[in-house]
A and B are shown apart, each in its own frame.
Chain A
Amino acid sequence: MRKFEDSTSVDFVIVGAGGAGGVVAKELSSAGFQIVVLEQGPYLHEGDFEHDELKFKDFDASPFIGQEVLTNNHALQPNTHRKAENDKAVMGAFVTYGRCVGGGTVHFTANYWRFHEIDFGERSRWGPIEGTGLSDWPITYADLEPYYAKAEWELGISGLGGASPFDPPRSKPYPLPPMPVKSSGVLLERGARKLGWHPYPAPMAVLSQAYQGRSACQHCGFCEYFGCEWGAKSSTLASVIPLAEKTGRCEIRPNSYVRKISTDKNGIVDGVLYFDARKQEHLQKAKAVVVCANGAETPRLLLISKSNLFPQGLANSSGLVGKFFMADLGSLSLGTFEHPLNDFKSVRVTRVVHDFYDSDPKRGFYGGGGIDARCGFYPIGFALDGLPPDALRWGAGFKKALQENFNRTVTIFAHTTSLPLESNSISLDPDIKDAWGLPALRVTYRSHPDDFKTMSFFRDRSLELLDAMGALRKWPLPIEDVTSVGHLMGTCRMGNDPKTSVVDKNHRAHDVPNLFIVDGSSFVTSGRNQPTCTIQALAYRAADQIARLAKTGGIASSS
């Protein structure tokens, strides 16, 4: 791997080696640019991952365990949370994200849904919604479609194009056939068809066959929350980051915690200040910077990077950096079945329903979503959180419930919209600091009433589905405001007007000509809470635009 000196002004510094940063690094280094990627987490490899629920699973539900190996460490990087701007924020572990090379794509479930055409123009279709910032995107599905295809083919996605009547148009099929159906998928398919719905094979960022020198999935089952020991999950760690390094123009620099984006006297970005693993400070010089630090850390970094020229924070003349934060909402309903499913094997999800994807005015509220069926638990997590609500908590009855239910329980997981509200935000906590002395991330978040109605609607559909699947018994988990968020969206929204958005449609900050922002923060709306595919399609598109601008002298840099 190529190494650069801090004093060498590289063409681009990319902040964050995750789902977006990995793609941008590969694209820009392949286009001939010199790249340094600063990643706050460690550089782990397949050999570092294990089938070990105690080590890897983040038990946010339990106060007793949680090693946070692949994700941010809340002891070192505390969050605070409040529901409204007038409340005092309290300490919590509200925001969780991938913190290693590959970011969240290392431990994610690997659901890989494209957005639909409607996602980019819901404001025009449905009109304004009071109290929200529902807006159209400055790009359309057609603008992004070639990059969805590119993401699917470069990263390695398994699926069956056209299998869903609700699928948006696609220029190419999936490069790999769908994963073999599991028992939860068979049951979902049977139940959904009985109800007249249209289940289809889940698009997954996991290789169903060997692809581009990588191994096919061996169905070991340690997928969600875990790093793939086979390299079969299509994380940027397994797919494009090795290609970026092979160009000889890209250095991935792990354990590098960025504390400020530096600007010159003209307001042009000239480098990035960061701490190395020993908390020594460095300044990596750069001609331009691409921030891919995720929908929470990106706005936090911009707000921390305030200066005399940028008193509200970098790229924040609109005052909207951190605003319109959208969360991963949904509903969970569980059911038990007569026979053993062995759903602990293979990928989490094999069948999906998108019949209720679009918002429907007849329902009386805005919102839509998609539904999957999955096992949802590893053994310890199941014993703590997966039993029926009336199960005993200890003793012979508890043991019997474990024995009977672990292998016979299906979770119906509905993924739903989160409306963009200006009052929901990421900001800097005025009191709490992280272990590096930087202001802690403060979350202000409360779901819109329509978000709750959508979740309840999907809970009701999920319970109908469980009945149609033949569940022996079923129960929903309560619909309540989220207490932890992993899909971080909307905090530097893209748009054409610098007064109402942070980046333009090419992901360039309106206020800073050589600063680009590409990750979930660019989202204008939340889709249906499966953001990774769209984050990566945006990253491919942004990289194209950035390379074009750079090659034509369209990016100013500090002299």
Chain B
Amino acid sequence: MSTGDSSRRQFLLSSLSGLSSAWLAPRWPAILAAQEDAKHAAQTSPGKFQFFSSQDAFEVDAIVAQIIPSDDTPGAREAHVTYFIDRVLVTFDRDKQSAYTQGLKDLQLRTQYLFPGVNRFSTLTSEQQIQVLTAIEKTEFFELIRVHTIMGFLAKPEYGGNYNHVGWKLVGFEDQMMYKPPFGYYDAEDRKGG
């Protein structure tokens, strides 16, 4: 089994231990529902998808892993982006469900068209996957899943993505309530009289 498969398995089985237990009750039902939902799912049935079938989840996971790949640093897969998108689609972006259903169907057709005999995008080689996604990169579905991937990679981990802050660590962002100057390279240099 390749390392890609084992990390995928890990992702599908993992629990969301990074969730915050202290959660102020806000007044905004959609987002509240999204976070509560992710938390509830984590407590009861870790890794269980609410919208995606397990087959869909494999397909989506393969797409997001091409949008933000895993290399020497973690990518969308390690950030649990597919899990995030599943949560999003049963909470505040419920109206995007049909776009995913249709988009995945179209992806399968495109895969079959470009690689006769192959039914599933996720079973293609990485190079073949890139070829398929390049063919659909101007579509609304691709833009939707691209934006969702970015959100799942960089949103607060309470939503189910950005697992272990891997997205924030990649870009160099930290979330804290307090900092003290110097903040960055140039103001530190300035303080030293540089």
Contact = CB atoms under 8 A, between A and B. Distances in A.
Interface in B73-122: 73, 75, 92-93, 96
A183 interface: yes
B172 A407 contact: yes
A219 B144 contact: no
A393 B130 CA distance: 13
Interface residues of A, number: 51
A137 B130 CA distance: 61
Contact of B187 (A47, A48, A185, A221): A185
A339 B187 contact: no
Interface string A386-428: 0000000111101100110011000000000000000000000
Nearest to B73: A403
Given A48-B24, A384-B150, A394-B66, A399 B185 contact: no
A343 B179 CA distance: 11
Nearest to B67: A394
Given A54-B155, A382-B171, A383-B154, A399 B69 contact: yes
B57 interface: no
A229 B24 CA distance: 13
Contacts of A380: 150-151, 154-155
Interface residues of B, number: 52
A344 B159 CA distance: 21
A537 to B, nearest CB: 30
B171 A403 contact: yes
B178 A218 contact: yes
Contact of B147 (A51, A340, A384, A406): A384
Contacts of B133: 394
Interface in B124-173: 130, 133, 137, 144, 146-148, 150-151, 153-156, 158-159, 167-168, 170-173
Contacts of A340: 172, 184-185
Contacts of A186: 186-187, 189-190
Contacts, number: 151
Given A340-B172, A342-B183, A394 B27 contact: no
Contact of A407 (B73, B155, B171): B171
A342 B176 CA distance: 13
A48 B26 contact: yes
B38 to A, nearest CB: 12
Query: Which of A65, A340, A342, A346 has most B Cβ within 10 Å?
Result: A342
B68 interface: yes
Nearest to A406: B171
A47 B22 CA distance: 13
B5 interface: no
B156 A398 contact: no
A379 B168 contact: yes
Interface string A213-224: 000001111000
Contacts of A550: none
A266 interface: no
A181 B151 contact: no
Interface in B45-89: 66-69, 71, 73, 75
Nearest to B75: A399
B177 interface: yes
21 contacts: A47-B24, A52-B158, A54-B159, A55-B26, A55-B31, A62-B147, A67-B31, A185-B187, A219-B183, A220-B176, A221-B179, A229-B177, A343-B183, A379-B173, A380-B151, A396-B69, A398-B68, A399-B75, A402-B171, A403-B170, A406-B171
